[in-house]
Amino acid sequence: MNCLAFVPTKNGQATKAGLEALSYAKRCGATVTALMIGELNGDGGAGAAGASKVLHIEEHLQDEGQIARAVAAAADSEGATLVVAPHDHQGRAVAPRVAVRMGAGMVPGVTGVIEGSEVKKNVFSGKAMAHIQLSAGKNVLTTTPNAFGVDSDGSTAAVEAFAADLGEARLVVKGYEASSEDGSIPLPEASRVVSAGRGLKGPEHWGIVEELAQTIQATMACSRPVSDMGWRPHHEHVGQTGITIRPDLYIAAGISGAIQHLAGVNQSKVIVAINTDPEAPLFKAADYGIVGDAFEVLPQLTEAIKTMD
Ligand SMILES: Cc1cc2nc3c(=O)[nH]c(=O)nc-3n(C[C@H](O)[C@H](O)[C@H](O)COP(=O)(O)OP(=O)(O)OC[C@H]3O[C@@H](n4cnc5c(N)ncnc54)[C@H](O)[C@@H]3O)c2cc1C
């Protein structure tokens, strides 16, 4: 089976989510060609993650319609029956357009392979898993970031320039505004996250949350009401209507653990809940639970970590 992987780049390197999509395709036994767009250093890391070849478009494309045309053209030239892309902001916009162009089946947000051509994904806010049979002759999938991990065998792939009829750009990004000024790792890529909710009672109390996050080099997150009330910026909101995260460690203080919150955090490897209410639903999802007042527990935890060898 030939596969075309759309691998987004950042500063000349493949993004982690892009490499995961690539690794997924390679593990399915496909011969994988990566399409990479914009600045690229060498093969951008695609060879080590499983690409036999990289097709490269030097132009920095922003219009998702143009990117979709490029992906569909590359899939066609490679005879690909499978197209994979990361389920990130770009892959989510590009993949359905590619599926329409190819007349292919489409499964967004795949989280695992069952066997052969059967994949699974979260449904109903993470309360259930759908098992989906890929029965179309051609299929387009997006892989959920952090669901598959990145393979690396140290090899490199040959890079070929690729040209396609991209059509006209229908949108132009005029500029970017950083959502985070503190230089922390963006939430979807963070391996450690410290999060807090309404139990913190007001924005003036976030110092103790920030101190713990800084101490363990974690990224900050929060529950939805906290960002709705303007206590914290919207880009920190995790959950069903916010960002989905899968860190190695998720520490949540003063968060009850509503189903909509859990939908975005329940794939974390280790969950630590701090709550005064022993019946808080988050304790059921947690690996470690501390029944206690966040105003006492957070500073103690920070202090204890600071004094560890
Ligand atoms: C369609 C829809 C989508 C939604 N999407 C999201 C989403 O994406 N993300 C999200 O988070 N929510 C979402 N919500 C809201 C969700 O249902 C909950 O209302 C929300 O998650 C609750 O936030 P919280 O845990 O911060 O607050 P609360 O539910 O008020 O919980 C506060 C917790 O803090 C504890 N506490 C109080 N004082 C302390 C203290 N001193 N120390 C320690 N613990 C203390 C309390 O025991 C309580 O458990 C959504 C709701 C709907 C209807």
**Does 8 lie in the same domain as 155?**
yes
Indicate the pairing of strand 2-6 with strand 249-253: unpaired
pLDDT at 275 over 90: yes
Which pair of structure tokens corresponds to residue 128? 């259930």
Q: Looking at the domain assignment, is residue 175 inside a domain?
A: no
Query: What is the number of the ligand 1 atom nearest to the C-alpha of 222?
Result: 11
3-class SS of residue 187: helix
pLDDT at residue 122, rounded to an integer: 82
Q: Which residues line ligand 1 (CB under 6 A)?
A: 197-199, 223-226, 239-242, 253-256, 258, 260-261, 264, 274-277, 280, 293-295
* Residue 13 shares a structural domain with residue 150: yes
Average pLDDT over residues 242-269: 93
Sheet of 219-222: strands edge to edge?
219-222, 192-196, 249-253, 270-275, 288-291
Whether 16 and 146 map to the same domain: the answer is yes
Distance CA 156, CA 63 (A): 29
Q: Write the DSSP assignment of 165-220 as a string of letters.
A: -----S--------S-SS-PPPGGG-SEEEEE-GGG-SGGGTHHHHHHHHHTT-EE
What CATH number does the domain containing 15 carry? 3.40.50.620
Amino acid identity at 225 = P
Query: Phi then psi for 107, rounded to 5 degrees?
Result: -125, 110
Q: Which residue has the higher pLDDT, 182 or 40?
A: 40
- How far does residue 226's CA lie from ligand 1's centre (Å)? 8
- State which residues form the domain around 81: 2-161
Domain assignment present for 10: yes
Closest Cα to atom 27 of ligand 1: 198
According to the model, what pLDDT value does residue 126 have?
64
Mean pLDDT of 111-138: 85
**In-domain check, residue 52:** yes
Confidence at 227, pLDDT banded by 50, 70, 90: very high
Q: Is residue 173 part of a domain?
A: no
Number of domains present in the structure of the chain: 2
Residue 138 shares a structural domain with residue 8: yes
Indicate if 157 and 192 belong to the same structural domain.
no
Residues 6+ away with beta carbon under 8 Å from 185: 191, 219
Q: How far apart are CA 26 and CA 148, in angstroms?
A: 11
Which of ligand 1's atoms lies nearest the C-alpha of 295? 41
Residue 241 has what pLDDT? 85
First to last CA, the chain: 51
Residues 228 and 86 in one domain: no
The CATH number for 193's domain is: 3.40.50.1220
pLDDT score of 181: 64
- 145 CA from centroid of ligand 1 (Å): 25
pLDDT at 81 (0 to 100): 96
Q: Are 5 and 70 in contact (CB under 8 A)?
A: no
Confidence tier at 125 by pLDDT (50, 70, 90)? low
pLDDT digits (tens, 9 = 90+) for 48-94: 999 999 999 999 999 999 999 999 999 999 999 999 999 998 999 99
Closest residue by Cα to atom 36, ligand 1, is: 199
Compute the distance from residue 196 Cα to the ligand 1 centre, in Å: 9
3-state secondary structure of 2: strand
The answer as to whether 42 is a domain residue is yes
> What stretches of 79-192 show up as alpha helix (H) in DSSP?
89-102
Q: How far is CA 200 from the centre of its chain?
A: 27
Ligand 1 atom at shortest distance from the alpha carbon of 259:
17
Domain shared by 109 and 254, yes or no:
no
Of 58, 83, 61, the residue nearest 73 (C-alpha): 83
Q: Does residue 139 sit in the same domain as residue 18?
A: yes
pLDDT value for 285: 97
Dist CA 43 CA 178 (whole Å):
27
**Model confidence over 178-217: pLDDT tens digits?**
766 667 888 988 999 999 999 999 999 999 999 999 999 9
Spatial distance between the Cα atoms of 200 and 223, rounded to a whole number of angstroms:
11
> Tokens at residue 148, please?
């598959």
Same domain, 10 and 146: yes
Burial label, 8 (beta-carbon count in 10 A; 0-12, 13-18, 19+)? buried
Residue type, 235: H
Instruction: Give the model's pLDDT for residue 130.
Output: 93
Centre of ligand 1 from the C-alpha of residue 205, in Å: 16
